């Protein structure tokens, strides 16, 4: 926003009128119209509606946009949780990421005019968001460097998250992938206290996200609950101890089973030794 200041030079003022003979009877006033640019605050911009942007409110299961829709705007999630899903030509749906307050949705729209949405964005809980038209988003990115820095930081974090998801999918077991998703939903690792009670989510959705079956998710969830890593009665409460699944290859339950597994091995060795002795005695007799 541009504001103008009206200034008078020191010692000036209007005395009014003119003297006889046409000589000026007042001190010349100097008016300066100096443009002063107000400091831009990205938080204020993203918290309020204005030119090219408006507030929207969605109930759980309502969609921000659908796969295949024109990519003509960006949403900034002010509160609530959302998810991005993709549907194949065969009708199979997969959840590719979860979104929390403070993230942008549909940022691909600024890549080029006339593009299409690659995924569907759906509210998991009641959401409030700021809808920013594509032209306004591009304008503010060009004109306000503080906003550009904020948006670039978001894109880098999203890229790092995508790489981490790919590595998780390629190298970790489904049990570790489930533990990681639950910790991410509880916002462990972010500034401030984690939200241990995560939004309601079905086991089918969790299975889609980690690439396994619902029955396997149910098995792991029951296992985590028995070990005290989580609680759930309708909604899931995640405890910090679940980090043990990510940081260590073996769970306490696995470690407790190790002595039982080694016992048969010792018996087999004793039996093998006895067999060798019997074989030796037989050879000696011959």
Q: CATH number for the 172-271 domain, one of 3.40.220.10, 1.10.10.10, 3.40.50.300, 2.40.50.140?
A: 1.10.10.10
Per-residue confidence at 219, pLDDT binned at 50, 70, 90? very high
Query: For residue 174, what are the β-bridge partners?
Result: none
Greatest CA separation for the chain: 153
In CATH terms, is domain 40-171 a member of 2.60.120.10? Answer: yes
Q: Give the separation between CA 195 and CA 186, rounded to whole angstroms.
A: 5
Mean pLDDT value of segment 129-145: 96
Which tops the pLDDT comparison, 31 or 173? Answer: 173
**What does the pLDDT read at residue 234?**
75
Mean pLDDT value of segment 10-22: 47
| Chain region(s) in the chain for CATH 1.10.10.10 | 172-271
Query: What's the chain's length in residues?
Result: 286
- Adjacency order of strands within the sheet including 73-79: 53-58, 127-133, 73-79, 104-105
**What does the pLDDT read at residue 11?**
47
**What does the pLDDT read at residue 35?**
56
Per-residue confidence at 191, pLDDT binned at 50, 70, 90? low
pLDDT exceeds 60 at position 107: yes
**What does the pLDDT read at residue 39?**
87
**What does the pLDDT read at residue 4?**
45
| Chain region(s) in the chain for CATH 2.60.120.10 | 40-171
**What does the pLDDT read at residue 187?**
78
Mean pLDDT value of segment 96-103: 92
Per-residue confidence at 50, pLDDT binned at 50, 70, 90? very high
Looking at every residue in the chain, the average pLDDT score rounds to 80
β-pairing verdict for 73-79 and 235-238: unpaired
Which tops the pLDDT comparison, 31 or 214? Answer: 214
Mean pLDDT value of segment 146-168: 94
The answer to whether the CB of 52 falls within 8 A of the CB of 106 is no
pLDDT exceeds 90 at position 258: no
Per-residue confidence at 233, pLDDT binned at 50, 70, 90? confident
DSSP string, 69-102: SB--EEEEEEES-EEEEEE-TTS-EEEEEEE-TT
For the stretch 199-217, pLDDT in tens is 888 898 899 888 899 999 9
Share of the chain above pLDDT 90, in %: 51
Q: Where are the alpha helices (DSSP H) in the chain?
A: 42-47, 134-143, 145-171, 174-185, 203-210, 214-226, 243-247, 252-285
pLDDT exceeds 50 at position 232: yes
**What does the pLDDT read at residue 58?**
97
pLDDT exceeds 70 at position 274: no
**What does the pLDDT read at residue 138?**
96
Q: Give the separation between CA 224 and CA 228, rounded to whole angstroms.
A: 6
Least confident among 50-59, 102-111, 265-274: 265-274
Mean pLDDT value of segment 26-53: 75
């Amino acid at each position: 926003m541009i504001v103008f200041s009206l200034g008078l030079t020191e010692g000036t003022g209007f005395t009014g009128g003119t003297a006889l003979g046409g000589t000026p009877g007042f001190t010349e006033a100097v008016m300066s119209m100096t443009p002063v640019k107000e400091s831009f605050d990205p938080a204020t911009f993203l918290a309020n509606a204005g030119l090219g942007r408006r507030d929207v409110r969605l109930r759980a299961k309502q969609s921000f946009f659908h796969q295949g829709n024109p990519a003509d705007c960006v949403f900034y999630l002010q509160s609530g949780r959302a998810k991005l899903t993709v549907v194949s030509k065969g009708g199979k749906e997969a959840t590719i990421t979860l979104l929390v307050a403070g993230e942008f949705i549909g940022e691909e729209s600024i890549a080029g005019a006339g593009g299409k949405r690659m995924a569907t964005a759906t509210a998991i809980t009641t959401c409030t968001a700021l809808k920013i038209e594509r032209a306004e988003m591009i304008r503010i990115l060009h004109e306000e460097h503080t906003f550009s820095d904020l948006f670039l930081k978001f894109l880098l974090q999203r890229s790092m998250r995508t790489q981490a998801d790919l590595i998780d999918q390629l190298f970790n077991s489904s049990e570790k992938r489930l533990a990681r998703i639950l910790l991410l939903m509880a916002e462990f690792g972010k500034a401030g206290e984690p939200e241990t009670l995560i939004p309601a989510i079905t086991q089918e959705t969790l299975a889609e996200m980690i690439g396994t079956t619902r029955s396997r998710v149910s098995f792991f969830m029951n296992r985590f609950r028995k070990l005290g890593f989580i609680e759930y009665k309708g909604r899931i409460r995640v405890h910090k101890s679940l980090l043990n699944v990510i940081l260590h290859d073996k769970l306490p339950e696995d470690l407790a089973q190790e002595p039982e597994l080694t016992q048969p091995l010792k018996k087999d060795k004793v039996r093998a030794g006895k067999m060798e002795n019997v074989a030796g005695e037989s050879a000696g007799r011959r």
